[in-house]
Amino acid sequence: MNTILIIEDEKLLADALKRKLERSGFSVFIAIDGAEGLEFALDKHPDLILLDIVMPIMDGITVLDRIREDEWGAKVPVLILSNLSDAESIKESKASGINDYLIKTDWKISDVVKKVKENLKNR
């Protein structure tokens, strides 16, 4: 069973994504801030990470950079899930090696699940 880590400070949204992903057969973990997410990722090595950008304690871009510095983390698929639509954030995260950048408002929760499946299939 593939494991997914959701790093998202909006717990209501994280719970909704978790429920949808679990119904599709994934094992899902939630971290509600960047630091907790980074620690979990480096310790447990999930198969895919859904990462928010704007978060307390440690922002998503920093989390992504730190994950990519790790030998395992250099290859794990990371999908950014953000309200930020400005080009600068997108450019910054692409430079750190993201697999997809999903603007929250453009994606239904069920579409995010499809995107997760696609990215796991392409590995």
Partner 1 sequence: MEESVKKLKVMVVEDEELLLQAISKKLSVRGFEAVTCTSAKQALDYLSNLGELPDVIWLDYYLQDMNGLEFVKELRKIQEWSKIPVMVVSNSASDEKRNSMLALGVNKYVLKAQYRLEEIIDMISQIASGKKV
Q: Which residues bind partner 1 (CB under 8 A)?
A: 9-13, 15-16, 19-20, 29-32, 36, 40, 54, 56, 83-86, 104-105, 108-110
In the complex, what is the shortest distance from the CB of residue 94 to partner 1, in angstroms, rounded to a whole number? 19
Query: Based on CB atoms, which residue is closest to partner 1, 13 or 42?
Result: 13
Query: Based on CB atoms, which residue is closest to partner 1, 110 or 122?
Result: 110
Query: By C-alpha distance, which of 77, 102, 76 is closest to 89?
Result: 102
Query: Based on CB atoms, which residue is closest to partner 1, 42 or 84?
Result: 84
In the complex, what is the shortest distance from the CB of residue 66 to partner 1, in angstroms, rounded to a whole number? 18
Query: By C-alpha distance, which of 85, 21, 96 is closest to 6?
Result: 21
Query: Based on CB atoms, which residue is closest to partner 1, 36 or 100?
Result: 36
Q: What is the radius of gyration, based on Cα positions, of the chain?
A: 13
In the complex, what is the shortest distance from the CB of residue 65 to partner 1, in angstroms, rounded to a whole number? 21
What ranges in 1-123 are assigned the alpha helix state H? 11-23, 34-44, 60-69, 87-95, 109-121
Query: Strand, coil or helix: what is 104?
Result: helix
In the complex, what is the shortest distance from the CB of residue 85 to partner 1, in angstroms, rounded to a whole number? 7
Q: By CB neighbour count within 10 A (0-12 exposed, 13-18 middle, 19+ buried), where does 8 fall?
A: buried
